[in-house]
Structure 1
Amino acid sequence: MSETANTANTASTANEAAAEPAEVQAPGRDASGEPGSWGARLRDAAVERWRPIALAALLLAACYAPFQLVPFRVFQLTMVLVYAVALLGLNLLVGHAGQISLGHGAFFAVGAYAAALMLDRWDVPYLLTLPVAAAVAFVLGLGLGVPAVRLHGLYLALVTLSIAVFLVPLLKRFESVTGGSMGLTLTKPAPPAWTGLAEDQWLYFLALAVAVAAFLLARNLLRSRVGRALHAVRDNEAAAEVMGVRLPFYKTLAFAWSAMFAGAAGCVYTWVIGFVSPDSFPVTLSITLLAGIVVGGLGSLSGPLLGGLFVMFVPSWSQDINKAAPGVIFGLLIIAVMYVAPTGLAGLAGRAAGRIRRTLRRE
């Protein structure tokens, strides 16, 4: 009896001793005594709380910018937003679904011409051309996605590139519809009198509204079951299929969604430029868009915006540096950015933010 009582007392004392550190655990330490556990969680939660505030501040700055810049700079920022919407679709296909496309500029052109024809032939209201152009591009992307399901890698890249190659001569051939090499000249959307805005400012805010809506749509899409399925397809197709992901369906859907964003961007491009022609959408446009999303950052929501800045400003800077060979300067700049930031500008910004968080955790 005495041995049993001693054993029970010993076990009780051991349990109390084991429980004591959990009760007197110091703030900022985990069960093993390592510092920074609680503090890290608190700081990460603070980062998440501050993220909406940072996005709101960025949106306010974007709304304030056109009132402080000259019309040409406002036009450049408008084009950045247009390219960002197009790159958002390309990022969905390449960065999140793992499929490659060298024909994204073709869907951009489809959206532009769909809007231009509606405005020129049937005098459709401007805002109504946006969903129609996006729907037309979506249907064409769906049609491309069906045969593209059986292709991978270089074969898929070659097929998509061929679309961008034959688009320009195809548009020139149907001169009675597309205007041929002369293109179509359109009237830009006029700002309502009650806004008090200039034309360039009104176009900027139209592009900003479309860009915000597109980014929200992409964000919600990627957080849904569709986004998780696309990531599974990108990471490992065989494993995704074993888990029940329908590869043909989601690959086709990725092409369709990507084309839809490009078509919407092409529509806004028509509003901003007021002119479309086959030569406005060469093969190099598709290649430049692909370079833009790689430089901006694949698989990141901020990548398309950074890529839009790259696509808009770097070619013009290359022209200013060397008017004889701007393409050489443009290529060298791409190589330099990829060397410094192999995961894109968004990845570089993410690493910088990570270093700041680690520094705060040490304090």
Structure 2
Amino acid sequence: MMDIGNTSTRTDPSAAIPARPGIGARFNVIVTIVLLLVLVFAPAFAKNFFVFQMTLWLIYAIAILALNLLTGSSGQVSLGHSAFYAIGAYTAAILLNETGLNYVLTLPVAALFGFVAGFLFGFPALRLTGVALAMATFALAVATPAIIKLHVFEEWTGGVQGLFVDKPRAPFGLPISDDAWLYYLTLAVGVLVFLFGLSLLNSRTGRACLALRDNPIAASAMGVNVALYKTLIFGVSAAIASIAGALSAIAIQFVAVDSFTFHLAILLFVGMVVGGIGWLPGSLVGAAFVVFVPNIADGISQGLSGAVFGGLLLLVIFVLPNGAKQIATWLSAQFGAK
């Protein structure tokens, strides 16, 4: 986690984040209702494969929201959230295979493990500053796959072979497919996480983190416990990322170490930037970019898909430096939302 709260250049992503972000009450309500209706009824008109893709989209949105909550509230950028995503995935897979615990109950357990890991990592990392602090989370993301493959953990993690997970069935005899059930479960969890994130930002903890982000020296002088609140928000962010990881294990039905490399951490960071740093609804837009744009790039040119994806990302950065939040702000102004 790299502290960016003290910088004042144009490249500082937190500098453009207001203390209490919003795009207008009426506009926000209308967009939210329309979006929820689309999300609720979409599976009825889509094939199972596309429903599965939408489930992955929501899972990535939850993980990106976790990172966005950390950066938007405290001004810390983490390049290691793929590690917490992996903790959640392996926690769910191990519990399902070894204990037979209900898959829904694996989510809070994964959140607990993720919170503890995030809090414990965040506390000593506070002693680092600048580039050294950024390298700490980079090291976490790089080291996690190697740790998972260690022989001492192989009995639990499956080593390089990974772990298989049985696909949950729709309960109570619901007349929907298993893919649709997992989609609705993920959607429900995503809504709860989003509401929790908003509540946290408006709580005493959220206000303390915002004060630390904007002016840590002044916040400390006013009695805000810098170490406590920064590690607390890091732990909460890690817990949400672990929930996303647990959902991915349940949805994909397979957990493998190659799925949690540094590439995943970069994708989460890209999704946060594209969605708009500090704007939680933008996590959906950022997740759509990292899930669907690579497929579009493959359709344009399989041999140059990476170049196409990079070009589209550059275009977004140059045209919308504040991400999807910039579009939302413009639309709010056009419709006169207040």
Normalization by structure 2: what TM-score?
0.89
Higher mean C-alpha displacement, 177-186 vs 48-57:
48-57
Which one of the candidate residues 50, 57, 60 is aligned to 1:83? Answer: 60
Q: Which residue of 2 aligns with 1:178?
A: 157
Q: Which residue of 2 aligns with 1:230?
A: 209
Which one of the candidate residues 30, 40, 63 is aligned to 2:40? Answer: 63
Q: Could you say what the CA RMSD is over the residues aligned between the two structures, in angstroms?
A: 1.5
Which one of the candidate residues 136, 140, 161 is aligned to 2:113? Answer: 136
Q: Which residue of 1 aligns with 2:173?
A: 194
CA contact (8 A) 2:212 2:219 kept: yes
Q: Which residue of 2 aligns with 1:24?
A: none
For residues 146-174 of structure 1, give each alpha carbon's deviation from its aligned partner in whole angstroms, at most 9, with x where no partner exists.
11212233222110011111111211123
Q: Which residue of 2 aligns with 1:43?
A: none
Provide the rounded CA distance (Å) in 1 between the counterparts of 2:131 and 2:299: 35
Q: Which runs of 5+ in 2 are unaligned?
A: 1-23
CA contact (8 A) 2:27 2:335 kept: no
Provide the rounded CA distance (Å) in 1 between the counterparts of 2:326 and 2:27: 20
Task: Name the one with the larger helix percent.
Answer: 1
Question: Runs of 4+ in structure 1 displaced over 4 angstroms?
Answer: none
Higher mean C-alpha displacement, 126-135 vs 241-250:
241-250
Q: Which amino acid aligns with 1:140?
A: A
Q: Map 1:43-58 onto structure 2 (within 5 A).
A: 48-49=25-26, 51-58=28-35
Higher mean C-alpha displacement, 92-101 vs 207-216:
92-101
Does residue 300 in structure 1 map to residue 279 in structure 2? Answer: yes
Offset at residue 353 of structure 1 (A): 2.1
Higher mean C-alpha displacement, 318-327 vs 166-175:
318-327
For residues 183-238 of structure 1, give each alpha carbon's deviation from its aligned partner in whole angstroms, at most 9, with x where no partner exists.
01110111125211101100100100100000010010101111111111111111
Which one of the candidate residues 81, 89, 100 is aligned to 2:77? Answer: 100
Q: Which amino acid aligns with 2:276?
A: G
Q: Which amino acid aligns with 1:72?
A: F
CA contact (8 A) 2:27 2:332 kept: no
CA contact (8 A) 1:101 1:156 kept: no
Provide the rounded CA distance (Å) in 1 between the counterparts of 2:330 and 2:165: 45
Does residue 260 in structure 1 map to residue 203 in structure 2? Answer: no
Q: Which amino acid aligns with 2:178?
A: E
Residue aligned with 2:77, SS: coil
Q: Which amino acid aligns with 1:220?
A: S
Q: Which residue of 2 aligns with 1:326?
A: 305
CA contact (8 A) 1:133 1:267 kept: yes
Q: Which residue of 2 aligns with 1:32?
A: none
Higher mean C-alpha displacement, 164-173 vs 318-327:
318-327
Provide the rounded CA distance (Å) in 2 between the counterparts of 1:303 and 1:48: 16
Which one of the candidate residues 236, 247, 272 is aligned to 2:226? Answer: 247
Offset at residue 50 of structure 1 (A): 5.6
Provide the rounded CA distance (Å) in 2 between the counterparts of 1:115 and 1:246: 34
Offset at residue 352 of structure 1 (A): 2.9
Q: Which residue of 2 aligns with 1:114?
A: 91
Q: Map 1:147-158 onto structure 2 (within 5 A).
A: 147-158=124-135
Residue aligned with 1:190, SS: coil
Residue aligned with 2:104, SS: helix
Which one of the candidate residues 264, 268, 280 is aligned to 2:259? Answer: 280
Provide the rounded CA distance (Å) in 1 between the counterparts of 2:217 and 2:327: 31
Normalization by structure 1: what TM-score?
0.83
For residues 19-74 of structure 1, give each alpha carbon's deviation from its aligned partner in whole angstroms, at most 9, with x where no partner exists.
xxxxxxxxxxxxxxxxxxxxxxxxxxxx6246434423321221100010111111
Q: Which amino acid aligns with 1:131?
A: P
Q: Which amino acid aligns with 2:48?
A: P
Query: Which one has the largest radius of gyration?
Result: 1
CA contact (8 A) 2:69 2:280 kept: no
Q: Which amino acid aligns with 2:130?
A: G
Number of residue pairs aligned between Structure 1 and Structure 2: 313
What percentage of residue pairs aligned between the two structures are identical? 45
Bigger RCO (CA 8 Å, 6+ sep): 2
Residue aligned with 1:295, SS: helix
Higher mean C-alpha displacement, 69-78 vs 209-218:
69-78
Q: Which residue of 2 aligns with 1:125?
A: 102
Provide the rounded CA distance (Å) in 1 between the counterparts of 2:65 and 2:310: 22
CA contact (8 A) 1:66 1:201 kept: yes
Which one of the candidate residues 295, 307, 315 is aligned to 1:336? Answer: 315
Offset at residue 284 of structure 1 (A): 0.5
Provide the rounded CA distance (Å) in 2 between the counterparts of 1:68 and 1:153: 49
CA contact (8 A) 1:141 1:257 kept: yes
Higher mean C-alpha displacement, 104-113 vs 91-100:
91-100
For residues 267-313 of structure 1, give each alpha carbon's deviation from its aligned partner in whole angstroms, at most 9, with x where no partner exists.
11111000001011111100110011011100012111111111111
Residue aligned with 1:160, SS: helix
Provide the rounded CA distance (Å) in 1 between the counterparts of 2:307 and 2:94: 36
